[in-house]
Amino acid sequence: MEKNENENKGLKIDIKNRKILMNKAFEKAASIVGSEAYDLLQMARRDYPKYTVARRTIKKNPSKECYRGLTYDFIRDYIMRHPRCDQKLREFNELLELSKCHSIRYPRIKQWFLESYPEVEEYNNNNKQKYDEIQVA
């Protein structure tokens, strides 16, 4: 069988925890009997018969602030509906232009926006708290 250098990137042996770990893409490929991924998984299972097979999960940061829907269009519209919109819009457009040629990206623009309009962050925090209360109930 010809070896593809990327074929086993989705499969990992975790000796410390006695697990055979695979990512979601590898799991899907390995579900097809006779595929290269299937054969690799079976080989790993033969080599480590007492190990459990599991899908790798991505560790999520529960304290990460998520601002779903906070797009450049939303930011622009929000600025237009508030006082001093001309000045703030100029600042926003300048940051956008800088982001095209420098390392200023979305996180920096988001930070500027939330510092300029703290009520948006407050609104997000209130909604997250309400969501958490609903989940607990």
Q: Express each pLDDT in 36-92 by its tens digit.
A: 999 999 999 999 999 999 999 888 887 777 777 888 999 999 999 988 889 999 999
Average pLDDT across the chain, whole number: 83
Report the distance separating Cα 109 and Cα 54, nearest Å.
39
Q: How many CB atoms lie within 10 A of CB 73?
A: 9
pLDDT value at residue 133: 45
DSSP 22: E
Q: Which two tokens stand for residue 61?
A: 């940061």
Query: Order of strands, edge to edge, in the sheet holding 52-55?
Result: 11-14, 19-22, 52-55
DSSP annotation of 3 reads P
Amino acid identity for residue 36 in this structure: E
Q: Where does the pLDDT of residue 7 fall: very low under 50, low under 70, confident under 90, or very high at 90 and above?
A: low
For residue 79, the model assigns a pLDDT of: 92
Q: Which of 7, 71, 16, 69 is nearest to 43 (CA)?
A: 7
What pLDDT was estimated at residue 128? Answer: 53
